[in-house]
């Protein structure tokens, strides 16, 4: 039946995706030794007998690393194990000097959590199967040619060896490359909020393996999967998955689905996934409990204590912004996703007597434009949130026009001056004084008899032209609403009232 449907091209396939995300924890020292974890140090400068795997060296667990991993588990709604135990995963690779990796196999630290993402089809809950704590391997630098497939030799930097890492394993719940990206973005945002990872994909501190299979729509069983290793940008995750899904669907449609599970690599240059090796089975690693590391008891009091250090997370902020403050969903997420931006935004809202939506409009608009233009980090912004609020107050009170407010904000951005000083020193205050504007209008009307006649003859456009002339004469400072009212009063001939 299925065969026949496929033959006539009626089988529709769907993708099944599960991610294994690796996040380096930003502890000051490594997970089982005292070496520093600073990124970008000269190669092989942050190493010792423990992380180089020299005979006789013994590991000791970094308490902070364990606390960070527990915090991640709590934020992802997991159960936390009552003991922390480590296993050895044996395999040989040049970047792994001990020939085993200390990881958790028999009892992961965290299990059974979930993470919600906002997809085009609505809110989606993605399972977090488990999170475990382990050590990084060293970094292999392929050299001598472009792309890993053409490399002639490799260099190894052991600085990364022993940096604490958590592996976060999702359920096979994602269906589209776009969903995988949303999941990663959300996860990254949460880990950054917790302060347990810096989330820098470009430095490799966050990366993932993407598992993907395809199956006919409606089928429950999962097909054989490929695991695309070591993706290190949101773009790579999406592109690699899109390519691999198409490849597997074509194979399935032509009657030759994957016969074996396989590990593949993403080749950025060619835009293709490349076969690496058949997928290892767990028994091949000969996992066994690490005899050098005693189990650590995790009391519920300790877990609670860690729980109390967790700040308000992006989901809670998003809810507050949309429900209490009326922000549009998209805007709320853009702000909530980035902790520092959110804190800044909230500080402005706190000082501002008007609508928070006005603040989000300015923060995501002109302010973000300046941040991007100058590649300024939010920590380095010179505008004090209180001053930002004062500017918005001046705008609301009509002291400055919208356009002038942009100019003032720009000056604030570059100089850190307060808005009132800028408005005063540069003479930017809006002119709302009726008498002063009446004189200006009278002068403009006298100077432009043509447009005045046009307007009176019924050409509505001439009105805008005259408003423009008044604005020009005041370098944009005239209050346009007052100008319009005066112009209407001046121009309307008694027998032929204009609209408004």
Which residue ranges make up the site for ligand ADP (CB under 6 A)? 16-20, 169-172, 211-213, 222-223, 225, 227
Q: 14-33 mask for Zn ion (x: CB under 5 A)?
A: -------------------x
Q: Toward ligand ADP, which CB reaches closer, 103 or 159?
A: 103
According to CB under 5 A, which one of 19, 25, 31, 35 is a site residue for Zn ion? 35
Note the residue count of the chain: 500
- Contact of residue 257 among ligand ADP, Zn ion, Mg ion, none (CB under 5-8 Å per partner type): none
Kindly state the smallest distance separating residue 165's Cβ from ligand ADP, in Å.
Answer: 14
Q: How many residues bind Zn ion (CB under 5 A)?
A: 5
- Residue nearest to ligand ADP according to CB distances in the complex: 18
Minimum distance between the CB of residue 282 and ligand ADP, rounded to whole angstroms?
A: 6
Partner from ligand ADP, Mg ion, Zn ion, none binding residue 33, C-beta < 5-8 Å depending on class: Zn ion
51 binds, among ligand ADP, Zn ion, Mg ion, none (CB under 5 to 8 A by kind): Zn ion
Task: Establish if 65 lies at the interface with Zn ion (CB under 5 A).
Answer: no
User: Judged by CB, which is closer to ligand ADP: 17, or 231?
Assistant: 17
Interacting positions 19-48 with Mg ion (CB under 5 A): 20
Least distance to ligand ADP from the beta carbon of 192, Å?
Answer: 22
- Smallest gap from Cβ 36 to Zn ion, in A, equals 9
Stretch near Zn ion under the rule CB under 5 A, chosen from 42-50, 145-153, 207-215, 255-263: 42-50
Q: Does residue 102 interact with Zn ion by CB under 5 A?
A: no
CB count within 10 Å of CB 434 equals: 12
Kindly list the residues in this chain that would bind Zn ion in the complex (CB under 5 A): 33, 35, 48, 50-51
Kindly list the residues in this chain that would bind Mg ion in the complex (CB under 5 A): 20
């Amino acid at each position: 039946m299925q065969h026949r449907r496929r033959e006539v091209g009626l089988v529709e396939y769907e993708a099944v995706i599960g991610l294994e995300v690796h996040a380096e924890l930003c502890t000051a020292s490594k997970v089982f030794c005292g070496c520093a974890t600073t990124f970008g140090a000269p190669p092989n400068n942050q190493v010792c007998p423990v992380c180089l795997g020299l005979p006789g060296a013994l590991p000791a667990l970094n308490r902070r690393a364990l606390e960070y991993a527990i915090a991640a588990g709590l934020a992802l709604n997991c159960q936390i194990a009552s003991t922390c135990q480590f296993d050895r995963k044996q395999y040989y690779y040049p970047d792994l000097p001990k020939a085993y990796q200390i990881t958790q196999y028999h009892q992961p630290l965290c299990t059974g959590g979930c993470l919600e993402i906002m997809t085009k089809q609505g809110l989606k809950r993605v399972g977090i199967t488990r999170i475990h704590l382990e050590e990084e391997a060293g970094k292999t630098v392929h050299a001598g040619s472009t792309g890993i497939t053409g490399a002639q030799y490799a260099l190894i930097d052991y600085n990364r060896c022993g940096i604490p890492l958590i592996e976060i394993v999702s359920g096979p719940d994602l269906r589209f490359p776009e969903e995988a990206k949303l999941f990663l973005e959300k996860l990254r945002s949460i880990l950054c909020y917790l302060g347990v990872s810096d989330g820098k994909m470009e430095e490799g501190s966050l990366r993932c393996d993407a598992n993907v299979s395809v199956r006919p729509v409606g089928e429950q069983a999962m097909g054989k999967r490929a695991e695309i290793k070591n993706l290190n940008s949101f773009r790579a995750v999406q592109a690699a998955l899109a390519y691999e899904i198409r490849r597997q669907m074509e194979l399935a449609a032509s009657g030759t689905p994957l016969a074996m599970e396989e590990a593949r690599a993403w080749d950025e240059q060619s835009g293709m996934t490349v076969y690496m090796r058949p997928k290892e089975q767990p028994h091949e690693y000969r996992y066994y409990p690490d005899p050098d590391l005693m189990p650590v008891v995790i009391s519920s009091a300790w877990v609670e204590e860690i729980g109390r250090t967790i700040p308000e997370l992006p989901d809670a902020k998003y809810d507050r912004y949309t429900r209490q403050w009326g922000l549009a969903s998209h805007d709320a997420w853009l702000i909530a996703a980035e902790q520092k931006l959110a804190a800044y935004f909230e500080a402005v809202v706190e000082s501002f007597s008007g609508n928070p939506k006005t603040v989000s409009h300015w923060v995501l608009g002109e302010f973000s434009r300046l941040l991007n233009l100058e590649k300024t980090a939010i920590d380095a912004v010179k505008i004090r949130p209180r001053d930002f609020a004062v500017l918005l107050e001046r705008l609301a009170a009509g002291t400055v026009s919208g356009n002038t407010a942009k100019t003032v904000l720009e000056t604030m951005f570059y100089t850190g001056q307060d808005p009132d000083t800028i408005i005063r020193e540069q003479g930017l205050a809006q002119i709302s004084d009726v008498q002063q504007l009446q004189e200006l209008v009278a002068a403009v009307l006298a100077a432009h008899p043509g447009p005045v006649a046009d307007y009176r003859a019924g050409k509505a456009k001439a009105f805008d032209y005259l408003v423009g002339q008044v604005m020009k004469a005041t370098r944009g400072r005239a209050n346009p609403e007052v100008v319009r009212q005066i112009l209407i009063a001046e121009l309307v001939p008694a027998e032929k009232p204009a609209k408004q």
